[in-house]
Amino acid sequence: MADLSVGDPVRTGGAGLAVVLVVPIVLLLLGLSLFGIPLALAGTAVYLVLWWIGAVYGRFAAGLWLLGVGARLLAALDIEVRRVENRWAGLLVGTVAVGLLAVLPILGQIVEAVVLLLGLGGLSRLAYGSYQRTEREGTLEAQGPGAARTATEPAPGKSTLFRPGSVGRPVPVA
C-alpha cells in the first residue's frame, strides 16, 4: 500500500485532493433530503475516520520514503548499510519527521497537507484498485468457466507445441 504513495506521488496526491474536494460536496447534497440526512451523518463519521487514517498512513509512507532516501544517501557515500524494511520504523520516522516539520510556521502546514493528501490518495487508490479487481473477477465468473482463458491458452483437453518455424502459432497435438 505504501508503494502507491511513494511510487507515484503526483497521481496519489491528486486522488487525495479529489477525495478532499468531492466527498464533502456529496455529503452536503445527501444532507439536503430527508432520506439522505442519516446517510450524510454516517458518511461524515466515516469520512472523519478515513481522514485520520489517511493522516497516519501519509506519515507512514513519508517515513518509508525517508528511510529509503537515507539508505541511498549512505550507499552513495560508500557506507554499507542494510535497508530498513520494518514498517514500524517507517511509521516512527514519518511521525517524528512530520511532527518536527509541523512546528515550522508556514512550511509545517504545507507538509501536513501534502502528507494528508498522500495518505487519503493512497487509501482511495487502494479502494478503487480493490473495486476494479472485484468487478473484473465478477465479470469473468458471469461469462462462464472458459472466459478467463487467454487466446494463447489451449482449450481444455488440447495441448499445443511450438515449432521453431511456426512463428509463435500453436500446433495442435493429438
Q: How far is CA 2 from CA 32, 72, 100, 166, in A?
A: 37, 18, 21, 45
Strand partners, 171: 161
Global pTM exceeds 0.75: no
Task: Report the distance separating Cα 90 and Cα 62, nearest Å.
Answer: 8
pLDDT tens digits, the chain, 174 residues: what are they?
Answer: 666 667 788 899 999 999 999 999 999 999 999 999 999 999 999 999 999 999 999 999 999 888 888 877 877 787 777 766 778 888 999 999 999 999 999 999 999 999 999 999 999 998 888 888 888 877 666 666 555 555 445 555 554 444 444 444 454 555
- Domain regions of the chain by residue span: 2-173
pLDDT number for residue 159 = 47
pLDDT number for residue 83 = 65
Return the residue matching grid coordinates 493522516.
Answer: 55
